[in-house]
Structure 1
Amino acid sequence: WIISDLDNREKWVILNISNYASFGKADTLYRTNIGHLKLDIISKKKISIGMKNFSKFSNELTIFKDLFLENLNDIFRIEFTVKTISISNGISLGSASLFLSVNKPPKNGSCGISPLSGFSGSTIFTIECQDWYDSDGFVERYEFYINFLNNHKNLTLGFSEIGFFETVLPDGPSFDQNKINVFAKVIDNLNSHSIYSLGPVTVSLNKSDSMRLIEEIEQDNEESVIKQLLHESNSVHTLRNLIAFVFSLNELSHIDKKSLIESKNNTNLFLTTFGPKTNISFESNFEDINTIMANFLVSETINITSKDYETKRNIRASIREKLVNFISNISLLDVASVKFKSDLLSEITADSSEVTRETSIQAIQQILSILDTINLIEEGIYEQDMVDIVNNLANTMANILQGLSTMINERQPSLHLDYIRANIPPSDYDTDLENFWSNPNNFMNDDQTEISDQIIAENKNILIQKLQIGEAILAEKKIIDTLAINLAEYSSLGNPIQISTTSIQMSVNRIRASDLDVFLFEGLGKIELPSFCDLVGYNQTTISNFSNYFDWNDLNNCTNELLTVQIISKASAPSGFNSDNETKIGLSNSLSLKFFNSKKIEIPIRNSIKPIHLFIPRDPSVSFPEFYFVNTSEFDNSSQFLANQFILSTSNASLHINLKPLDNFTGYLMTIKFGSMPVIKENLTNLDKWEIFCPNEEQFSSNGTFLFFMNKTEVNGFKGFVGVGIRELNTDEFDQYCISKIKSKNQMPDYVPNITFTNDFYLRFYSSGCYYLDDKTGWWTSHGIEVMPDTNEKYTHCMTKHLTEFAGGLVILPTEINFKYVFANASLAKNLVIYSTVIVLTCVYFLFVIWGRYQDTLDSNKIGVCLLKDNQPLDSYFYEVTVFSGSRTNAETDSRVTIILSGDCDDTKPRILEDPKRKCFRRGGVDSFILSTYQKN
């Protein structure tokens, strides 16, 4: 028997027993005892507070740190007994033991920092640690880090072998009076450590120094100190001051955003991230979703216009691109350098709206390099170090996807650098006529109409952005899965490791399938699951389908499987190829769930027996539309219902209509028709759906609102005109449907030619969708997902039978059409201006039709092959000459073009290529001519 994977960690010790004997199919039972050296073995009951042994079939023992903290000077003996029962070998017993002792951390020392206040990027802070002593080894190094109020992420400043450290500090958060918590981590040769708090220091933003550094980097001044430092050094010690500058850059971005939001009074301009800077606690979950109020917290605002903001944003984007290239010089030699570089990557990409495509490419390459280094570090990485690294890398990857999606999701304009680079001609522009990027026809609008050069340039930039997003999605899947698997190795059974950053929240948990929770929470989202056996579609006829994924001791019981559960919530769903014009997911978080087996292979969930429910939050900063007030006193009773109409612009989405009456004692009939207005007559009904609303029933929500809901299946992919009709139930109908209920709601009310409204009400229209991301193609699709009726302004409720990454779509349907007079004031006398306008527009329309027909006649005369006017009747040889004009800018001419045909016997005179009916040699044109010659004897 071999004991493996013994790690001394901050929270627990995990012991795994591996059985290398071969018994074929056998039942294995494990038993563990812990005792003090030279003392009797103590019972499990006595130490149960410090040990977790899940079952007699479990080969993993977790000993929590409480046991060791109470007995720091003791040596422990761990004894394992294993019993196997098999048909071929009967009962076999085996045992093994090992000894554990506690490596004591350094102690009796102190650390101090001076001064206690200063300015970011300019004040030199000195940290000095002394008198630290390690009783069973020696102090190997001192690491220094900082964090902020309500933000658990530790930001590495650097390290020292002697306990003396000088550095500048970033500015503290304005919402906490610029306070920064500074810590020293004193580490011995076996990685046991003590953490010493140096207390808070106050660091204010030095805007003048920050702007000077921005100017130096932007101007590419080779003589500047910062430029020489960044270009010439690869030392973590030398580059440590860079973190203060990056933090100042992020704070300047935050101030500008907050200022522009207040001046425009529009929070939809920017993405709300997790964390204290947007007033969303990392501890918040789905239960808090109705009380969360997003707000950008800064201590000051400035006067700024949209133009000024975009200028500053593009300058900062250029700086970030330079910085991400600069830090590629940092050598990855040990854990400390890996942590430092990952911290820098996370902070450089912190404002995702300032991440260029080049920045994203370089950052992804550096993340992959860090992952390679992690695998090569021989001494191993301890849990908290790995958590810090994963925290930074996951946040960087989420920042990159957010940045690439910002423009596609129409949250902010394209960055100038991306736009310019997208429209630089390729190197083979003049020689490769078939180059995709050289042909403007590839960047036309969907309707293929003639468009300007500017639109072509914008479309080219959008397409390149989408292609980059597709590549980033593939990279992210590989990176996040690798990080999750690495984290899982540090997790004991049933004790999840949580990653909380501004852009992504992730938890990794190792459990038995039988212990899978029905409800899983991550970020502000929630997932409701059936049992694991139902998830994988397990039954007696499909056991053989799972041989590639499972290694069950008992194939008849799928709950024995050891799982790694990975749950991820992102502050913004990546846009993919079609979010800009179809799914409208730019206002949604994303939510994903994955399972890995004990061999680190992902277990696909493709066809769950029972449905999976996902509650996907929307961006908390999004301003959901207010209800539209309908004053029914302005209607008369001359029509059969109050009519409204809107355009449904997205397919594969559900339709939501909220009706909120001013009192709770009125019933309504609502009808809907796709493609036209609904029709209800005595002998004719033309509707797609109708519904009767009674107060105090299930359609009537707690806030006094009726919901008319059509799911994706009922909408059936329809896009276009939708007509809606609403009327009150009269007294008899209200009694029949809502009080005495002698009529079923499935029975259509009798035809009423004239309606009467007694109560005003409010209306709101929107459509929502559920989508999953195909990470192989980069497309969001809705196949196999349904939107549930309780979807609202806070979240999208989706039901599915497979698992991947999900997001919710939202389209606000306009109710700006004033339909209050459509039927009530339909007479000519009351609507003279309206009728006059319609008549004039109709006349103008027919005039344009006549003019257009005339122009078509002229154009038809230009079609065909042109006979050159100098052709002679006696010519006996004819040649068709076809001239193709290029598609590039200025690829046309108004010059007179001539051609000379050369043969063995003679040449023609210059022949003029022209057509008297039209201009030739237009851009992208094809012109054909018939040229005749005679035979020379």
Structure 2
Amino acid sequence: TSTLDLDYSCANMVPTDYDTDLESAWSNLNLFSGGNDFSTETIERNRNIYYQKQLANQINSQVTQMISLLTSSLNIHLNIGQKSIINTSQSFVSLETISIQSLKDKLVKQVENAQFNIPSSFILNSTSNSSISLRSRVDPLASFGNFQNTNLSRSISLSIIDQNGNEVSFQANGNNSIKLIIPRDPNLVIPSMYLQTVTSINSTINNLLFNYHYINITSSLPISIHFEIHSLNTNLSYLFIYKFDQTPLLNSSINIIDGWTLFCPFNLTNDDIYRYFIDNQQTPGHQSLIFGIRELNSTEINNYCLNSSSINTSLPITSEPFNFTSNYELRIYTSGCYYLDENNNWKSDGLIVGSLTNHYETECLSTHLTSFAGGFIVLPEPINWSYVFANADFLKNKTIYLTIICISIAYIILMIFGRFKDRKDIEKLGVTPLPDNDKSDQYYYQIIVFTGQRANSGTQSKVHFILSSDNDETRVRTFSDPHRKIFQRSGIDSFIMSVPKKIH
């Protein structure tokens, strides 16, 4: 805390060259404003983040340069089969010299179960036919970059160095990818599962076939979605369906779903939890996901979940509502696989989240080598649409409906009143031709009258006037406007007067 406070103070103090360097980022308030928020608190907070990122990038660059120098020094002293390890609280670096032939199916293990599993087929752009060096690195905290989902992940990297100390390009096939395990912060606290009291919902009355849940999956980078379902009765089986951006529908006449699976007791893990995941190749371009769950009846259990040796791959379909006999618990989290590009921004091109991803590590499939990190967010409790629909009648929610109706009526009245006032304001802005203008007149004058702000400054009387000069004057003219009141307090009225000749 004291370090962050010191950084905050240093970032916001006036620099010594402020008067001479007017183009510096420190003085550019548009860079630190939160949109249109130019408050001192926002400016100082964003300025602190800006300079902390600059300092972090500078430190990361220095560490990378130092590791490159160490690699060059150690590389010439390591023979095939020898390894050198630097393990500190801030970084783990391993340098190992191997033959090119032994790179196939090579498992490179790091600290905290971080690892790279090299495939059997790949393209290695190296002129050497004898030996190469593997430099692996683990940092305790991934760079923030442009994506905050990596803030719980370790950063891991693997580089292949030739005998001259140069990095070698590595490319794997899409069907035979590099498998990575990226650990998370071991101090991460996983929220408990949310209890879904579905036994209180009468599906027969409300004609509901599934218990629906809605989740928001909007993200700037592709994410995978992981579902964990724990039934309070482990002997039950479930049908799970989902659809992106709309409600999935499944009965004897309608089949509108993007995917489905069956949860049978023989699928249960040691912790009695059903697990299902949607990889990051299916989620791009979608903002939401709605999934439905229902219990299988006894006939369906016998047909689909009796044993694991005779699995029925067809989809159980029914049009009959079925009430839940037991509640279940639910937890949903998202993950992702990202690599750091040359601009220190996280990208996900060509990376796939693997099925071994769990709370404490992310499995990634990649075709290239660089610095990687995994994303992780436990989503809040999803909206239970089935409960909403089952309890949406007026008699159960009189207060809510009456409040909404009253607010809507008040909003409509205020909107009509505001529109009426807008039209009056537009009328006040207009320029009024005097009613006694003659169409044959060829000269025009604009007269603007300002009415004072004091009490009783306005008048409802007809006001007549004569406009005179040294040599001429008009006849008696009248200020009048048939469409609006004129000469009101604090008002500005504009008129057009026509005359047959110039007034000199």
Q: How high is the TM-score relative to the length of structure 2?
A: 0.75
Change (3 A) 1:451 1:693: farther
CA distance in structure 2 between the partners assigned to 1:620 and 1:837 by the alignment: 47
Change (3 A) 1:486 1:854: farther
Change (3 A) 1:600 1:632: same
Shift of 1:816: 6.5
Q: 2:249 maps to which residue?
A: 679
CA distance in structure 1 between the partners assigned to 2:312 and 2:422 by the alignment: 59
Contact 2:75 2:133 in 1 (8 A): yes
Change (3 A) 1:432 1:784: same
**Quick one: which of 497, 500, 507 aligns to 2:84?**
497
**Quick one: which of 365, 370, 375 aligns to 1:809?**
375
- Where 1:515 maps in the other structure, the secondary structure is helix
Matched, 1:456 2:43: yes
CA distance in structure 2 between the partners assigned to 1:844 and 1:513 by the alignment: 77
**Quick one: which of 390, 394, 397 aligns to 1:828?**
394
1:175-574 correspondence to structure 2 within 5 Å? 313-314=1-2, 354=3, 415-424=4-13, 437-445=26-34, 448-450=35-37, 452-516=39-103, 518-524=106-112, 525-531=114-120, 534-535=121-122, 537=123, 546=125, 549-552=126-129, 561-574=130-143
Matched, 1:712 2:280: yes
CA distance in structure 1 between the partners assigned to 2:152 and 2:386 by the alignment: 32
Q: 1:88 maps to which residue?
A: none
Change (3 A) 1:860 1:436: farther
1:568-647 correspondence to structure 2 within 5 Å? 568-576=137-145, 578-580=146-148, 584-608=149-173, 610-637=176-203, 638=206, 639-647=208-216
CA distance in structure 2 between the partners assigned to 1:515 and 1:464 by the alignment: 45
CA distance in structure 2 between the partners assigned to 1:848 and 1:804 by the alignment: 59
Q: 1:725 maps to which residue?
A: 292
Paired AA for residue 693 in structure 1: F
Change (3 A) 1:526 1:851: farther
**Quick one: which of 738, 742, 762 aligns to 2:305?**
738
Matched, 1:787 2:368: no
Contact 1:653 1:717 in 2 (8 A): no
Residues 536-584 of structure 1, C-alpha deviations (whole Å, 9 max, x = no match): x15xxxxxxx3xx4233xxxxxxxx3111111122211222x133xxx1
Contact 1:425 1:438 in 2 (8 A): no
- Where 2:72 maps in the other structure, the secondary structure is helix
CA distance in structure 2 between the partners assigned to 1:596 and 1:528 by the alignment: 17
Residues 301-343 of structure 1, C-alpha deviations (whole Å, 9 max, x = no match): xxxxxxxxxxxx32xxxxxxxxxxxxxxxxxxxxxxxxxxxxx
- Where 1:750 maps in the other structure, the secondary structure is coil
Paired AA for residue 530 in structure 1: P
Matched, 1:758 2:325: yes
Change (3 A) 1:858 1:731: farther
Residues 183-225 of structure 1, C-alpha deviations (whole Å, 9 max, x = no match): xxxxxxxxxxxxxxxxxxxxxxxxxxxxxxxxxxxxxxxxxxx
Residues 47-101 of structure 1, C-alpha deviations (whole Å, 9 max, x = no match): xxxxxxxxxxxxxxxxxxxxxxxxxxxxxxxxxxxxxxxxxxxxxxxxxxxxxxx
Contact 1:659 1:762 in 2 (8 A): yes
Paired AA for residue 422 in structure 1: A
Contact 1:422 1:461 in 2 (8 A): yes
CA distance in structure 1 between the partners assigned to 2:344 and 2:357 by the alignment: 25
- Where 2:333 maps in the other structure, the secondary structure is strand
- Where 2:394 maps in the other structure, the secondary structure is coil
Shift of 1:596: 0.4
- Where 2:170 maps in the other structure, the secondary structure is coil
Shift of 1:813: 0.6
Shift of 1:592: 1.1
- Where 2:169 maps in the other structure, the secondary structure is coil
Residues 757-803 of structure 1, C-alpha deviations (whole Å, 9 max, x = no match): 123221101100111112x2011111110001221111111111111
Change (3 A) 1:456 1:598: same
- Where 2:281 maps in the other structure, the secondary structure is helix
Shift of 1:850: 5.8
CA distance in structure 1 between the partners assigned to 2:379 and 2:355 by the alignment: 17
Greater RCO, CA 8 A, separation 6+: 2
- Where 1:722 maps in the other structure, the secondary structure is strand
Shift of 1:591: 1.4
Segments of 5+ residues of structure 2 without an aligned counterpart are 430-443, 447-489, 493-504
Residues 21-61 of structure 1, C-alpha deviations (whole Å, 9 max, x = no match): xxxxxxxxxxxxxxxxxxxxxxxxxxxxxxxxxxxxxxxxx
Contact 2:214 2:382 in 1 (8 A): no
CA distance in structure 1 between the partners assigned to 2:21 and 2:445 by the alignment: 43
CA distance in structure 1 between the partners assigned to 2:199 and 2:388 by the alignment: 14
Change (3 A) 1:439 1:799: same
CA distance in structure 1 between the partners assigned to 2:427 and 2:102 by the alignment: 79
Paired AA for residue 127 in structure 2: F
- Where 1:484 maps in the other structure, the secondary structure is helix
CA distance in structure 2 between the partners assigned to 1:857 and 1:618 by the alignment: 61
CA distance in structure 1 between the partners assigned to 2:226 and 2:68 by the alignment: 37
Contact 2:213 2:382 in 1 (8 A): no
RMSD (Å), alpha carbons: 3.5
Larger helix fraction of residues: 1
**Quick one: which of 338, 349, 358 aligns to 1:771?**
338
Residues 780-838 of structure 1, C-alpha deviations (whole Å, 9 max, x = no match): 11111000122111111111111111111111110065667324333322233343344
Residues 463-508 of structure 1, C-alpha deviations (whole Å, 9 max, x = no match): 3333333343333322222222323334332121222211222211
Paired AA for residue 72 in structure 2: I
Q: 1:214 maps to which residue?
A: none
Percent of paired sites with the same residue: 31
CA distance in structure 1 between the partners assigned to 2:186 and 2:414 by the alignment: 48
Matched, 1:655 2:225: yes
Shift of 1:743: 8.2
Paired AA for residue 223 in structure 2: A
Change (3 A) 1:794 1:432: closer
Q: 1:690 maps to which residue?
A: 260
- Where 2:338 maps in the other structure, the secondary structure is strand
Change (3 A) 1:607 1:520: closer
Residues 103-142 of structure 1, C-alpha deviations (whole Å, 9 max, x = no match): xxxxxxxxxxxxxxxxxxxxxxxxxxxxxxxxxxxxxxxx
Q: How high is the TM-score relative to the length of structure 1?
A: 0.42
Shift of 1:527: 1.8
Segments of 5+ residues of structure 1 without an aligned counterpart are 1-312, 315-353, 355-414, 539-545, 553-560, 864-872, 876-915, 919-937
Change (3 A) 1:730 1:592: same
Change (3 A) 1:595 1:731: same
Paired positions, count: 428
Residues 496-546 of structure 1, C-alpha deviations (whole Å, 9 max, x = no match): 122221122221111212234622211111221124xx33x15xxxxxxx3
